[in-house]
Structure 1
């Protein structure tokens, strides 16, 4: 295996969601400067889900016009679009246009939609492209996908996004607008170390790096020896070729999956029955719904009652846990469907605890205890670590089933995220079911 190919696959994967992930972590600095205010996250959620028109188009083309869509050209197009849109955000994100007499951040919303189309469509184009490389590099790709959330979060921390200082309120009682008394504290956000414009230019540079990596994956001579003999070969076909040459070699096949010469279904290589295929995709959709939309939408509610430090530490460690799970998968690859089911139940149970604390916010269990904050940080680590590992293993399982399986893998990833967003959006943004409380003055019995 080539170290260069691993590096390029990682950098390529990093371009999958870096733009939207970066936009979300930058919201505390953007919101005070746009007319939409804190309604902006709700608008962005709707735009991101509308952007699923991209993966829907690719999936339908693959289903009804197989082979007619130039996969490489589509990847070049969407990465290039993401690079340009991120760069333009650096210049126009604060521009306001009157729409029906109401000021709106039209440029910000339109460019965000383009970024969302890029990232959503990457799920059904980047993964199938990885069929051209040997199976080992798919795990490296997932590491890069995890880094697409970690790197923007780390840069935002350096920038000083969302850092709160609680200071004494010096206003007299009759001048306060929120009813707070003179003995209460006021939350003051620390000024950023550099502007949002610089942050958006950083995102554009990351997309450009991903574009260069994709270019080298296609044309660098050193990558050629790491390609599969047939770019659309399934794992079963590769095994037959290996057996024809002598000893059977199954370095990336599931050791828990019994070898069989009889097709159990018409899906992929036929190694799984339709019941198992449905089970795999249900788990994949469920895991992505939890990790991509359901729990992230309530992260602030679950963590902020324990303090601003607990919130930032949870966010950073959750972002670290994603690529860490992918890195573990490089060395420990367990594809037993039963094991993945147990791991999914474990992560879901931890996610249920996180959701419970969000529902009980601003007064969750052990709210004033250090152990409560530590348990919340640990919960986010275990939740992301376990379910990210499940996502990687399912990706490897479907990779062995062929190019078509990976296209459907990306489609189910987006479908799960969509269903999670549709479920949480009204609860969080319309009905106001969750309450974060005041970071400096919350009092619980």
Structure 2
């Protein structure tokens, strides 16, 4: 295997979601300077789901006009669009336009929609493109996809996003039968100024998209990468012998220790290695896992962590971002593709997710809110949640990669479908019915 190709595959994966992930971590610096304020996260959630028009178009083209869509041209277009939109965001994110008599951040919202379309469409284009390379490079791509969340988080950490100081302030407290105000001292949360501006951060995002574009160019045209392309002598990652595949010689080929691809197909999906029920099981888990990891649990992260303090919140966010690429790295050396193990890990991750959401629902007074063990539990919960379900996503991607190009297109489509269902569920709960209450990082109101 080529280390150079691994690096390029990783850089391509990093460009898949770096723009939207970067926008989310930059929110604490954006919302005080725009008219939408903290309604912006709700608007972003809606825009990201509207951007699923991109993957829907690609999926329908593959389904009804197979071979008509130039996948390489689409990838060039969306990476170029993402680079331009990130650059324009640095220039115009603060600009407002009067709409219906009130100022609105039209430029920010429109450019966010374009970035969302780029990132959502990458799910149904980047993965199928990886079919051109040998199977080992798909896991490297997933490592890069995990880094697309970690790298902006680390840059935002250096920037000083969301760092809070608890400052003593004097407030007027009126006593019952008194006409004068008594001085009362309380703590007030104040955000520290950032080390550099959001404009610089958006220039960083545009640079990352440009790096992704260069990586894709090299993946298509560099001679060293051409030697790593999967050619006609490979069938599902298994090299043929004397012009005939091992599958045709032996009637079956073992692509992993947990299943045998029989000569007699069990379904019309991919190679026919899995029955229709197993295919539905795999895609059901894929949709569920992405709903949890992309929308449901992240949407309540602040509610679950802030009651335990600002340090608990930042530690949870940072360690969760580290756990994603770590899970992909583990999958390189321990590629367990047992469907039973996949179900067990999904149940474990779901149970931990239920604990996180429960603590968010109990905010601002979750369990053990005044105890160090509560901080340890919530941080560990976030690490285990991201680690287990990210591993499941990678293994499903590897399984579907063995089933062919069309399977990876459907993989990307189901990823976006799961995210959409998660958003439809959580948006009214968080933004409309306000079922979750924020904790104050400086003043606890819990007994």
TM-score after normalising by structure 2: 0.95
Specify every segment of 5 or more residues in structure 1 that has no aligned partner in the other structure, as ranges.
Answer: none
Match of 2:64? 64
Displacement of 1:182 in angstroms is 2.6
Give how far 1:319 is off: 0.4
Q: Which residue of 2 aligns with 1:347?
A: 349
Matches within 5 A, 1:236-255: 241-243=244-246, 253-255=255-257
- For residue 40 of structure 1, what is the aligned residue in structure 2? 40
Indicate which of 225, 246, 259 corresponds to 1:223: 225
Report the Cα offset of residue 261 of structure 1: 1.8
Alpha-carbon distance in 1 for matches of 2:167, 2:70: 58
Q: Distance in 2 between matches of 1:271 and 1:244?
A: 12
1:83 to partner: Cα distance:
0.3
Distance in 2 separating the partners of 1:136 and 1:344: 24
For 2:83 and 2:192, how far apart are their aligned partners in 1? 30
- How has the CA–CA distance of structure 1 residues 365 and 329 changed in structure 2, closer, same or farther, with 3 Å as cutoff? same
1:121 equivalenced with 2:124 (yes/no): no
3-state SS of 2:265 partner:
coil
1:185 aligns with 2:153: no
State the partner residue of 1:383: 385
Q: Is the 8 A contact 1:235 1:399 kept in 2?
A: no
- Cα offset for 1:245? 10
Give 1:402 deviation, angstroms. 0.2
Q: Who is 1:138 aligned against?
A: 138
Q: Is the 8 A contact 1:12 1:210 kept in 2?
A: yes
Structure 1 runs (4+) deviating above 4 angstroms are 230-242, 244-251
- Deviations along 1:234-279, one digit per CA (max 9) or x if unpaired, are 458969944279899978x221113422110000000000000000
Residues in 2 aligned to 1:74 and 1:435: alpha-carbon distance in whole angstroms = 42
Check 1:237–1:272 CA distance in 2 against 1; reply closer, same or farther (3 A cut). Answer: farther
- Length, aligned pairs only: 440
> CA offset at residue 430 of structure 1?
0.7
Q: Which deviations, in whole Å up to 9, do the C-alpha atoms of 1:304-340 show, x marking residues without a partner?
A: 1111000000000000000000001111110000000
Query: Is the 1:139–1:392 Cα contact (8 Å) retained in structure 2?
Result: yes
- What is the CA–CA distance in structure 2 between the aligned matches of 1:233 and 1:16, rounded to whole Å? 27
- 2:247–2:263 contact (8 Å) kept in structure 1: no
- Partner secondary structure for residue 185 of structure 2: coil
**Deviation at 1:162?**
0.5
1:412 corresponds to which residue? 414
Does the residue aligned with 1:218 lie in a helix, a strand or coil? helix
SS in 2 for 1:194: coil
Long gaps (5+) in structure 2 = 175-180
Change (3 A) 1:368 1:402: same
For residues 347 and 244 of structure 2, the distance between their equivalents in structure 1, rounded to whole angstroms, comes to: 37
- Tell me if 1:333 matches 2:335: yes
TM-score, normalization by structure 1: 0.95
CA RMSD of aligned residues (A): 2.1
For the Cα contact (< 8 Å) 1:313–1:377, is it kept in 2? yes
Residue-by-residue CA offset, 1:395-420 (whole Å, 9 max, x unaligned): 00000000000000000000000000
Distance 1:146 1:404 in 2: 23
SS class of match (2:262): coil
**Counterpart-to-counterpart distance in 2, 1:92 and 1:7:** 33
1:94 and 2:98 are equivalent in the alignment: no
1:434 corresponds to? 436
Which residue of structure 2 lines up, in the alignment, with residue 104 of structure 1?
A: 104
Matching residue of 2:178: none
| 1:30 Cα deviation from its structure 2 partner | 0.1
Q: Distance in 2 between matches of 1:407 and 1:364?
A: 41
Q: Report the counterpart of residue 49 of structure 2 in structure 1.
A: 49
Match of 2:366 among 364, 373, 376: 364
User: 1:356–1:180: structure 2 CA closer, same or farther, 3 Å change rule?
Assistant: farther
Checking the alignment, whether the CA contact within 8 Å between 2:256 and 2:337 is kept in structure 1 is: yes
Change (3 A) 1:69 1:443: same
Q: Larger strand proportion, structure 1 or 2?
A: 2
1:370, CA displacement in angstroms?
Answer: 0.8
Cα deviations by residue, 1:261-304 (Å, 9 ceiling, x for unpaired):
21100000000000000000000000000000000000000011
